[in-house]
Chain A
Amino acid sequence: EAQVTQNPRYLITVTGKKLTVTCSQNMNHEYMSWYRQDPGLGLRQIYYSMNVEVTDKGDVPEGYKVSRKEKRNFPLILESPSPNQTSLYFCASSLFKGLEAFFGQGTRLTVV
């Protein structure tokens, strides 16, 4: 089954404690991206990757890092999380940029 898998689904952490949210897709897609969803703000793109070892900033990249060492995985790293990064995060993948066809189930992150 074609899918995008994120882990964990829920995470509560403390300010400053590094964390990683994993994202994996099984469709051999070259393009992957991360979004955050906040009430009243909709979805905003954090980072995207056009292919292995190719990543670029989206609209709200501050406080986040990503890596793309292999095509199927695109982890989101928060080196020093802060409360304003409390949000619902989605990973997406597709054949090409501009059509996010497959989304993960989401990761609800709370930073206290």
Chain B
Amino acid sequence: GEDVEQSLFLSVREGDSSVINCTYTDSSSTYLYWYKQEPGAGLQLLTYIFSNMDMKQDQRLTVLLNKKDKHLSLRIADTQTGDSAIYFCAEIVSGAGSYQLTFGKGTKLSVIP
């Protein structure tokens, strides 16, 4: 079956950059997403990237996509304590005339003041 892989934990110091990595499986995925889940809250769509792009930048967030290696990363510059959350990578998996979103297990980012 399809699996989206992420490391489970990441700790960084406030002000440093965070890099959260993800590997996905479906080479035909057209969209790849990053979601943020703060404690006690639902998932928030943070950003997404089209498969024909290598990079997307949005303020402190940079998404890098390596299609050859099926590797996606999310870089958060100048990480703040408010960035502490679980970050989920997700891909669209297609098959049997349909498609659905498949999530990784999430990376818990802890920001140390």
Does B101 lie within 8 Å of A45, measured CB to CB?
yes
**A84 → B minimal CB distance (Å):** 19
Q: A42-B106, A105-B42, A106-B41 in contact; A100/B101 too (CB < 8 A)?
A: yes
The interface residues of chain A, by DSSP majority, are classed as loop
B9 located at the interface, meaning its Cβ lies under 8 Å from any Cβ of chain A in the complex? no
User: A42-B106, A43-B88 are contacts. A98–B41 as well, Cβ < 8 Å?
Assistant: no
Main secondary structure of the interface of B (DSSP, over half): strand
Cβ of A27 to closest chain B Cβ, rounded Å: 13
Contact at A105–B100, with CB atoms within 8 Å? no
What interface size band does chain B fall in?
10 to 19
A-B interface contact total, Cβ < 8 Å: 47
CA distance A102 to B88 in the complex (A): 14
Q: Which of A40, A58, A90, A101 contacts B100 (CB 8 A)?
A: A58
What residues of chain B have their CB less than 8 Å away from a CB belonging to chain A?
A: 31, 33, 40-45, 48, 88, 92, 98-101, 103-106
- Whole-angstrom CA separation of A13 from B33 in the bound complex: 35
A104 interface hit (Cβ, 8 Å): yes
Name A74-107 residues within 8 Å CB distance of B: 90, 92, 97-106
**Contact pick for A103, options B43, B104, B106, CB 8 Å:** B43
Closest to B92 in A: A98
Do B105 and A97 have beta carbons less than 8 Å apart? no
* Shortest Cβ distance from residue A83 to the other chain B in the assembled complex, whole angstroms: 22
